[in-house]
Amino acid sequence: MNGPCKEFADRIVDYVDGELPQDETQAVGRHLVACEPCRRTAEALNRSLGLAKVLWSDNLDDRERTQAAPAPRLYHIRVYAVAASVLIAASVLVLVVGDHYSRSSLTRSGNVERQVADVGAAAELLAATQILARCEGTEALVERQYRFILKEYAGTPAAESIRTRLSPESRRYTQ
């Protein structure tokens, strides 16, 4: 790269700054038309000063200090939206599945508890009826009690025990 002509270098600076007398301004202007290295130097002088002013102005500008945190970019917002959607969907899934399982387990648990309660109640009734059966004159009452156990607690061991003990005639109550 060729630099500016030595005899013109300093005057080119004054020329671009507009600090040359009229006659010298014209002389330098004519030279710049003819000399490319000097012309390019003149361009570089103007451009470098413009860039320096950008740097100085940027230093003076307190935008960086006062500026809030940069706004999130669009793709960040999208990522956040997708992540939030997945999180919400996962939460809903957990709630639905959890509710289903808890309901099933509660149902099963309720059935067992009811069955246990039925077996216990039938056993108590049967024991009380057997004590009653030992007393005289209670046949009709005992029979009615058996029928009640057979009807209300059909699936219990107490009902099964009554069925095996009753005569074929009595079994018709269970049918």
Q: What residue ranges bind another protein (CB under 8 A)?
A: 1, 3, 9-10, 13-14, 17, 19, 40-41, 43-45, 47-65
CA of residue 39 relative to chain centroid, distance: 64
Which C-beta is closer to another protein: that of 65 or that of 134? Answer: 65
**Longest Cα–Cα distance in the chain:** 152
Which C-beta is closer to another protein: that of 11 or that of 158? Answer: 11
Q: How far is the CB of 51 from another protein (least distance, A)?
A: 4
Three-state SS for 120? helix
DSSP string covering 84-111: HHHHHHHHHHHHHHHHHHHHHHHHHHHH
Residue 37 · residue 4 · CB < 8 Å? yes
Q: How far is the CB of 90 from another protein (least distance, A)?
A: 37
Which C-beta is closer to another protein: that of 28 or that of 149? Answer: 28
Which C-beta is closer to another protein: that of 32 or that of 149? Answer: 32
Which C-beta is closer to another protein: that of 52 or that of 128? Answer: 52
The two structure tokens encoding residue 32? 């710049």
* Helix, strand, coil abundance in the chain, percent, nearest 5: 80, 0, 20
